[in-house]
Amino acid sequence: MGLKFDVTVVGAGPAGLTAAQQLASKGFKVLVIERGKKPGSKNVFGGRIYAHVLDKLYPEYVKEAPVERWVRRERITMMTEDSWTTLDFETTKVEHRSFTAYLTNFVEWLDKKAESAGAVVVSEVPVDKLIIKDGKVVGVRAGNDEIYSDVTIIAEGINRLVLERSGLAPKLSPELVALGVKEVIKLSREEINERFNLDDDEGMAWVLAGYPTHYLPGGAFIYTNKEAITLGIVLYLSYGYQLDIPINELIEEFRLHPMIKRIVKGGQLLEYSAHLTPVAGVNASPPSLYGDGYLVTGDAAGFLLHLGIIIRGVDFAMESGRLAAEAVVKAHDSGKYDKESLSIYGKLLEESFVLRELKTFRNAHKVLIEPRLYSDYVRMINTMLKRYFEVDGTPRKLGSTLLETKGNLTLLDLAKDAIRVVMNL
């Protein structure tokens, strides 16, 4: 017989640590098992956290959380080798809706919250698989160790090997995931403020499409931190084979693009990381989000909203962790942790923004995986504006310039794609 806890959590990311903190603060004996050197060491993300979930969980977060900058500017750029078109949104109000952060620091902060509530967090222990007896998950196996618990919360992220090895989820197919690579580049606070036209503590979130991925489905992002910027590329895995260079060279080319070169000038590369990310939301969920003795949360459950210009995973991970904890408390009150008692988790998810939003955008990935969006349209917009702004004595109306520059796109393509984008994103 191995160790026994009330709840075992697999993975110390935003989902697992939120579930652990919530349960430990209610007196449950909670063990969190993390395979990384410490919580946060394996987590990768672009750089922005939507703060609405923190209002409920940690009302003091504005003072306490490791916030880099509060996002005041948002930019979307369609970029070719030699031209680019940008939509630039600014507001004078920084309303504490989202902030840039290092996920490592943020997860460390969540870890402190979970540990000070009484959760036990062990690192450098990879869980191999779940222990299943008579169809019920009764614990986890890690090497020679067996840890038993009433409930296991699976928060292992997108690399959901524990679920797969335990027969609770199939292997993720490539069209459901993307590969993200990210660099952190050090610049002084003044350089960032000047280059992005920001004041201290104000941030920018920027997504770019077209040239950064060699016109394949995916995109690039730039986020401003206090004294560094994060810059990265996300490429749909199912298009990886069409890429003519390795993805690490792609990010280098992006950095050397004439527009980006100016922004990163004099910067020092501090860090490089790569990670998979789900892009298909609930289409990538395992067949069941709960069962006898277990619940699935965060990326492992497919809870990531990817709308091309918005990537949200951390708030979904934390909310699903919180709801998993609530479900465990309710199941505890009923005295059972079987599938029926834990089905309250499904109900709570349905009532929360997690499934409401993810289901609303269920078809977004089918629209976003369309290669035309990243190639033909990016080129068309840039060529069209270039022609329109060129004055050479030829009269040019916007409509005729559009027809001149639409390349292989038919008017039917334009109409169909416009409808698909408006209806699904």
Ligand X SMILES: Cc1cc2nc3c(=O)[nH]c(=O)nc-3n(C[C@H](O)[C@H](O)[C@H](O)COP(=O)(O)OP(=O)(O)OC[C@H]3O[C@@H](n4cnc5c(N)ncnc54)[C@H](O)[C@@H]3O)c2cc1C
CB contact at 8 A, 147 and 273: no
CB contact at 8 A, 278 and 301: no
Instruction: Tell me whether residue 29 is exposed, middle or buried, using C-beta atoms within 10 angstroms of its C-beta: 0 to 12, 13 to 18, 19 or more.
Output: middle
Angle at 342 between CA 339 and CA 344, to 5 degrees: 125
As measured in angstroms, the least distance from the Cβ of 303 to ligand X is 7
Of 46, 203, 217, 281, the one binding ligand X by CB under 6 A: 46
Of 304, 348, 369, 378, the one binding ligand X by CB under 6 A: 304
d(CA 176, CA 236): 8
Q: How far apart are the first and last CA of the chain?
A: 51
Q: Is 304 helix (H, G, I), strand (E, B) or coil?
A: coil
Of 24, 30, 48, 206, the one binding ligand X by CB under 6 A: 48
String marking each residue 191-230 x if it binds ligand X according to CB under 6 A? ----------------------------------------
d(CA 323, CA 84): 43
Of 51, 53, 110, 127, the one binding ligand X by CB under 6 A: 127
d(CA 252, CA 191): 21
As measured in angstroms, the least distance from the Cβ of 408 to ligand X is 31
- CA–CA distance from 258 to each of 83, 261, 262, 351 (Å)? 9, 5, 7, 47
Footprint on residues 317-356 left by ligand X (CB under 6 A):
317
CB contact at 8 A, 364 and 401: no
As measured in angstroms, the least distance from the Cβ of 165 to ligand X is 9
Contact range with ligand X by CB under 6 A, out of 47-55, 186-194, 374-382, 408-416:
47-55
Contact range with ligand X by CB under 6 A, out of 288-296, 304-312, 383-391, 403-411:
304-312
As measured in angstroms, the least distance from the Cβ of 150 to ligand X is 19
Contact range with ligand X by CB under 6 A, out of 238-246, 312-320, 354-362, 395-403:
312-320
Q: Is position 147 an interface residue for ligand X (rule: CB under 6 A)?
A: no
As measured in angstroms, the least distance from the Cβ of 221 to ligand X is 7
Contact range with ligand X by CB under 6 A, out of 56-64, 187-195, 298-306, 404-412:
298-306
Tally of CB atoms within 10 A around 394? 7
Footprint on residues 9-28 left by ligand X (CB under 6 A):
10-16
d(CA 211, CA 97): 30
Q: Are strands 218-224 and 202-210 parallel, antiparallel or unpaired?
A: antiparallel
| DSSP string computed for 273-296 | EEEEEE-SGGGGS-S-SEETTEEE
As measured in angstroms, the least distance from the Cβ of 60 to ligand X is 21
Footprint on residues 219-278 left by ligand X (CB under 6 A):
232, 234, 275, 277
Of 108, 299, 319, 326, the one binding ligand X by CB under 6 A: 299
CB contact at 8 A, 385 and 228: no
Of 36, 286, 293, 308, the one binding ligand X by CB under 6 A: 36
As measured in angstroms, the least distance from the Cβ of 79 to ligand X is 18
d(CA 405, CA 370): 20
As measured in angstroms, the least distance from the Cβ of 5 to ligand X is 15
Contact range with ligand X by CB under 6 A, out of 20-28, 35-43, 262-270, 388-396:
35-43
Of 139, 180, 203, 293, the one binding ligand X by CB under 6 A: 180
| Radius of gyration, CA atoms only, the chain | 23
As measured in angstroms, the least distance from the Cβ of 355 to ligand X is 15
Q: Is 126 helix (H, G, I), strand (E, B) or coil?
A: coil
Residues binding ligand X: what is the number (CB under 6 A)?
43
**Biggest alpha carbon distance in the chain?**
86
**Amino acid identity, residue 216?**
L
Of 33, 151, 184, 384, the one binding ligand X by CB under 6 A: 33
Q: Which is nearer to ligand X, 161 or 243 (CB)?
A: 161
- Residue nearest ligand X (C-beta atom): 313
Q: Which is nearer to ligand X, 145 or 417 (CB)?
A: 145
Tokens of 60: 């003091």
Angle at 45 between CA 121 and CA 319, to 5 degrees: 60
Q: Is position 42 an interface residue for ligand X (rule: CB under 6 A)?
A: yes
Locus of tokens 């067949």: 287
**Sites of contact with ligand X (CB under 6 A):** 10-16, 33-36, 42-49, 126-127, 155-157, 159, 161-162, 180, 182, 232, 234, 275, 277, 298-300, 304, 311-315, 317
